[in-house]
Structure 1
Amino acid sequence: MKKNTQTALISGLLRVLSALPYGWVARLGEGLGSLLYLIPGRRRHILHTNLRLCFPEQSERQRRRLARATFQHVIRSYLERGVQWYGSARAITDLTELDSAIDLQDRYDQPTIFLGFHFAAIEAACMYYSIRHPVASIYTPMSDQATDAISKARRSRFGTMMIPRHGSARDILGVLKSGTPIMLAADMDFGLRDSVFVPFFGVQACTLTAVSRLARLSGARVVPFVSEVLPGYRGYRLRIYPALPAFPSGDVRADAMAMNQFLEARIREAPDQYYWVHRRFKRRPPGEAPVY
């Protein structure tokens, strides 16, 4: 099947899913996730490897139970993208609760970087915020141009300014200083450039230093947020925390460690909702063997 045809079919399926009751789609995603977890594959291998590295204190049985629940959330999140990408603004806001420790109207008092993480509901949280407030988002372009175009169009449909990850630093700083907050995620291995190796669950992880550099250059506060899937198929919660204290510190390694420590604490609150299926430990420090 040609990629353009495949992309069109996926887009059509998401449109259909957006018209179905949320609870149905969520249950369908969980069921499909349970079935797909039974099939050995690359993503399941990555998932098991990550859990073994990060939760060595757990038994094999506990980690498999966590892996299955994670797979359910991951597949469910793909199906729920229907309402997130094609549903109405009201449908998204009705499904999302907001719990913010900061006043979201004071964005012009100080530039703001919203630091997100790859939990299952991150897409919903970002879409909800973009409905309520002006925002820009730094994103990683997809390799397939047709899929990337659809993704960019749907994510920006409520006015979000989409900025490619390797875009101009001057443009990013201009957006921050204009009073428009920027959302970005820094919990993936994006390569050795502008990164340092610091612990993540006790394992050295290639971690971006771009957040602290941007904060230093722009004078921005760094405000972490976490997206939660609520129990009982009630939707999502966007939880916005106070700005990270003394950030940036002037030490990019210390800042990277602070980000990872904050994320670790949030993951322990809902470990099955984190995207353990990505290769967080793809690159290793000199002398260390590959883990995948």
Structure 2
Amino acid sequence: MKDHFDPQAYHPHFKWSFLHPKFWGTWLAVGFAALFSLLPHRVRLALATVFAGLIMKRKSKANIRARVNLAMCFPEKSDEEREALLKQSLITAGTYLMGFAAMSTRSRKWLEQNTVIKGEEHLTAQRHSGQNTILLVPHTWAIDVPAVLLASRGLPVVGMAKKQKNDVTDWLMHKQRVQYGGRLYERRSGIKPFIRSIKEGYLGYYLPDEDLGPEHSVFVDFFAATKATMSGLGRLSKLSKASVLPLCASYNLETGQYEIEIKPPLDPFPLETEEQNARMMNACLEEFLSNSPEQYMWILRLLKTRPDGTLNPYKK
């Protein structure tokens, strides 16, 4: 078995302090999550539909962000259409998240049988040719599924992770993500270990849609909005000598299965400017999401940084 240990990687461990009373609520939630993951899909879907209706009535920060994002990205849609899209996204999120623990409570065989992959031949061709590979993965609700599934097949990934505020959930999520192998690095470790791992044959898991502020971004179109888009993929591709394959994960509300779609490698890539590279990234996201926008995490701070330095739109 491949040794995935790297002292620079993120390695949270169980601590006896996790049993402190302040974490009892967390452990209770974990127990419920494990039980919910064993429920039939239709039961989770019914529960998520009820919860989504209740959640939409709340004036939460997440709801505000989602409505702002949808209004800026889809101004051509009516308020009713955007509200329907938001509700469908929350139903998708709820149904998926109630089954999130299944990747730990269920077997490797179960995961394989409940996942459908389209375009797998593109990744197979990359591996057979020995080509280093970066997977371009948008923030859909099922974003963790491809990494776990590919690792279970002997194709471990390397990613960059942000530590969770809750130490218990941080430890458990890390265990689930690397249960079959792979590496995760904290952002403060820098990009060098990530590049080195790609050169060693790991699949780079690159999340292209985070807003990292004006210092690390270029402003290009994202649907109808202008978005501060990460500018480093072109350099990363050159330094790691890797091709870039767009990949999108989704949760099918009809079948209850995970679905993974893999596109051919971006070609030509990288282009001449970071703006061109960033726009190509966003175009990949738009292509994936145009047919299933409900799969996306619209609750994220996608458009926080504005090109003209105006106020954060979520605070207006």
Instruction: Please confirm whether the aligned pair reaches a TM-score higher than 0.5, indicating the same fold.
Output: yes
Please provide the CA RMSD for this pair.
Answer: 2.1
Structure 1 residue 240 corresponds to structure 2 residue 262: yes
What does residue 7 of structure 1 align with?
A: 26
| Mapping 1:243-258, distance limit 5 Å | 243-258=265-280
Structure 1 residue 116 corresponds to structure 2 residue 150: no
What does residue 243 of structure 2 align with?
A: 221
What does residue 192 of structure 1 align with?
A: 214
Amino acid at match of 1:17: F
Q: Compute the displacement of 1:3 (Å).
A: 5.3
**Residue 41 of structure 2 contacts residue 95 of structure 2 at CA under 8 Å; is this kept in 1?**
no
Looking at structure 1, the residues matched to 57 and 286 of structure 2 have their Cα atoms a distance apart, in angstroms, of: 28
Q: Compute the displacement of 1:183 (Å).
A: 1.2
What does residue 234 of structure 2 align with?
A: 212
SS in 1 for 2:117: strand
Q: Compute the displacement of 1:105 (Å).
A: 6.3
Q: Deviations over 1:181-222 (max 9, x none)?
A: 111211121333422221211322111122222101111001
**Residue 151 of structure 2 contacts residue 181 of structure 2 at CA under 8 Å; is this kept in 1?**
yes
Q: Compute the displacement of 1:284 (Å).
A: 1.6
TM-score, with length taken from structure 1: 0.92
**Residue 138 of structure 1 contacts residue 182 of structure 1 at CA under 8 Å; is this kept in 2?**
no
SS in 2 for 1:33: helix
Q: Compute the displacement of 1:9 (Å).
A: 2.1
Looking at structure 2, the residues matched to 230 and 96 of structure 1 have their Cα atoms a distance apart, in angstroms, of: 10
What does residue 152 of structure 2 align with?
A: 131
SS in 2 for 1:249: coil
What does residue 171 of structure 2 align with?
A: 149
Amino acid at match of 1:7: T
**Residue 50 of structure 1 contacts residue 276 of structure 1 at CA under 8 Å; is this kept in 2?**
yes
Structure 1 residue 31 corresponds to structure 2 residue 53: no
**Residue 113 of structure 1 contacts residue 220 of structure 1 at CA under 8 Å; is this kept in 2?**
yes
In structure 2, the CA distance between the partners of 1:157 and 1:222, relative to structure 1 (3 Å rule), is same
SS in 1 for 2:258: strand
**Residue 97 of structure 1 contacts residue 237 of structure 1 at CA under 8 Å; is this kept in 2?**
yes
Q: Compute the displacement of 1:233 (Å).
A: 2.9
| Mapping 1:49-60, distance limit 5 Å | 49-60=68-79
SS in 2 for 1:130: helix
**Residue 213 of structure 2 contacts residue 228 of structure 2 at CA under 8 Å; is this kept in 1?**
yes
Q: Deviations over 1:203-247 (max 9, x none)?
A: 221111222221011110011101122242331211111011111
**Residue 4 of structure 1 contacts residue 146 of structure 1 at CA under 8 Å; is this kept in 2?**
yes
Structure 1 residue 172 corresponds to structure 2 residue 194: yes
Amino acid at match of 1:110: Q
What does residue 5 of structure 2 align with?
A: none
What does residue 80 of structure 1 align with?
A: 99
TM-score, with length taken from structure 2: 0.85
Looking at structure 1, the residues matched to 283 and 237 of structure 2 have their Cα atoms a distance apart, in angstroms, of: 18
**Residue 86 of structure 1 contacts residue 154 of structure 1 at CA under 8 Å; is this kept in 2?**
no
Q: Percent identity?
A: 26
**Residue 14 of structure 1 contacts residue 86 of structure 1 at CA under 8 Å; is this kept in 2?**
no
SS in 2 for 1:15: helix
Structure 1 residue 45 corresponds to structure 2 residue 64: yes
**Residue 45 of structure 2 contacts residue 253 of structure 2 at CA under 8 Å; is this kept in 1?**
no
**Residue 26 of structure 1 contacts residue 79 of structure 1 at CA under 8 Å; is this kept in 2?**
no
Which segments of 5 or more consecutive residues in structure 2 lack a partner in the other structure?
Answer: 1-19
Spell out structure 1 runs of 4+ moving beyond 3 A: none
What does residue 67 of structure 1 align with?
A: 86
SS in 2 for 1:32: helix
What does residue 303 of structure 2 align with?
A: 281
**Residue 126 of structure 2 contacts residue 132 of structure 2 at CA under 8 Å; is this kept in 1?**
no
SS in 1 for 2:63: helix
**Residue 137 of structure 1 contacts residue 162 of structure 1 at CA under 8 Å; is this kept in 2?**
yes
**Residue 113 of structure 1 contacts residue 183 of structure 1 at CA under 8 Å; is this kept in 2?**
yes
The count of aligned residue pairs is: 292
Amino acid at match of 1:15: A
**Residue 139 of structure 1 contacts residue 184 of structure 1 at CA under 8 Å; is this kept in 2?**
no
SS in 1 for 2:313: coil
